[in-house]
Structure 1
Amino acid sequence: MPTIALLTLSNVFMTVAWYWHLKGGMTKPLWTVIAISWGIALFEYCLAVPANRIGYAHGWSGGQLKVTQEAIALLIFGVFMVTVLGEPLGWRHAGAFVCLVGAVAFLFVGK
């Protein structure tokens, strides 16, 4: 489904835009980090806006789009957190993801 694929790619860009500087970029001036992050985020917007338009045109509600995006964001961030930041995943991460998947399911039930 194009909406989910585009939301996934947009979340990859946004996660990098928001968190890349935590590993190796802490010595850079804040204005530089902000400028680089805005440049990366431009690609996120180029993917997220079409994803939301396509999803909405195919009958998804705004709420469905948002909670789907949040569930994808948590999954992408989990991978980023482990692979880039070197932080471990714990049971609370899994619990949070299950809760978000539940939120997605609640908004799609009866659609």
Structure 2
Amino acid sequence: MSWIAKNLVGRVGSLLQGLSGPSKKASVTTLHEIRMEMLAALGDVAEKRFPLVQLRVTYASDIDDLWYLRGDVMAAIASLSGEAVAKEKLHQISTMFVGLVPHNLTNKFSVRHS
């Protein structure tokens, strides 16, 4: 198999893994708790102002999807309530991911409180 074919198969497999359900690293309950915290941080206004962000958080299939949606959530909160409030809420959410995503993602650069 050529390098291109192997690379393509690997990438397609990675994409499909996200569709297979919750990550083995996080229970369904943990996913639900983090999802609810993110939606609560967005607030009721988000449904009208940021429906795509709300939908993406609601239907995220695993812990990695939720981790990478934090930036969208922060941008939406900052737009509604200011950057200081958004940083505080995102810090609280980010701490919920410790032990669920690779350590290098939750190190001092990702989860620190500024």
Normalization by structure 1: what TM-score?
A: 0.31
Normalization by structure 2: what TM-score?
A: 0.31
Larger helix fraction of residues: 1
Higher RCO structure, 1 or 2 (CA under 8 Å, sep 6+): 1
